Chain A
Amino acid sequence: MEAPETHSFSIRFVLLGILLQLTSPATAQSIDLSDWQSLERQARGETVYFNAWGGEPRTNNYLAWVSELMLERYDITLQHVKISDTAEAVSKVVAQRQAGNDDNGSIDLLWINGENFAALKENDLLYGPWAESLPNFKLVNADRFPEMLEDFTVPTQGFESPWTRAQLVFYYDSQWLAEPPQDIRQILEWSIANPGEFTYPRPPAFLGSTLLKQALIELSDRDPALYAPVSSAEFERLAQVLWEYLDALHPSLLRSGRYFPASAIDLRRLMGDGEISLAFAFNPNEALLSVRSGELPPSVRSYVLRNGTISNVSFLAIPYNASQKAGAMVTANFLLSIEAQARASDPDHMGSTPAISISDLDSNARRSFETITRDLAAPSAEDLDRKLQEPHPSWTPALERAWIQRYSAR
């Protein structure tokens, strides 16, 4: 729907635009969050560079669908810049700041959470607050789900908008493994008894780092220090148990721990080839999706460790120097819409867990989320209730650095 414009208004608008460009490009795009319709108008014709991890084809295909709709409905050209590590995007923003590029940044929208969000926010490299002003933000029902306002214990304060949920889920091939280990300690025992059947992506691949955090939480019995900024004393104290654990585990891993898969997908491939019989993923529906696509054998089953597993929320943020902020917000708002969230949760597409609160929807809308039929390969709803909170983001890089130091050259 387009509001009628008077001729003189549009000329004045153009003149204003030119004037602003001449005087100070930094304020060329003044954003008025209170008037969503004019913001959508403003976003027309923009090219939004969306930097998002490109390692999962299902996500890439989903974003390709989003791009089509964005162009069709909002006249926004959405470019998915596939990055292999969100840290790359963070370094780009930092580099642009250092080069004095405060207004014409190359990233407009960024898929982010955890330490990368913390790093950008701490250094005032994010635009905002904007997220809670999105028309679709109410759909997440942050009153009931406070995790939507907190990213690895760091308050989001409107600097990022929720996109999807994720939870660490284990899966195993029931053809080779009848009773999978139920906690981190059991994994060690089982692995020693069955060498070469398990491995994990090498940190800093996020799934590998997540396993380290999962192990640390379990081995330390959820030490409260994990939920505060890391200090070297606390790190020494808590990590010691983790290193002992890993030192014992590694010799019994695939390739005797002399090789670690590079990513979540590499890990899945090893499972598909029958090289290992136990693996894990950050998308609860991963096993189900991969069985459907034929990547994993139908004998694969999913479960959650008995003490619970790490869960988190993926967010979208806008760098402070993004050149197309309006377009970025319109995109973020669309990604949070019922339509986009339903498509994202559809196992025929992305198969992720929605960020919006399904139970708050009317029955009509709810129906579009009921595509996930019960499936042997999917974890049960009760399983997924056992959630662990992510440690403070500062723990992630500390763990990754220490892991690399200890294990990357043995």
Chain B
Amino acid sequence: MSNPQQLRYSKEHEWLSAVEGGVSTVGITEFAANALGDVVYAQLPEVGSAVTAGETCGELESTKSVSDLYSPVTGEVTEINEDVVNDPSLVNSAPFEGGWLFRVRVTEEPADLLSADEYTAQNAG
């Protein structure tokens, strides 16, 4: 599995796209999706709500587990992926594309986001 070079990553397995017009897209990585197994329910933050880097903003349920979803950045949620709400298996089939989770108007980025290579190295260790 390869982690796209143009994205940045949190230690908690979220990815963050480059900021466009002040807005970034957030999802979970393929590594995380594989570890979870089939995602069956996604509770995403509400549009307009504030999210804080490193804090819980939703949850993902799979067959065997439920895991908290953390925001990799601080800001305001501008959009959530309704396709994932309706078909959570998109998180497994296309974690870096159609399985994105939400978009944020970024007010602050943490300093410790990882590059693709750094994130890949973290998971290998």
**Chains A and B come from one and the same complex:** no
B residues engaging A (CB < 8 A)? none
A residues engaging B (CB < 8 A)? none
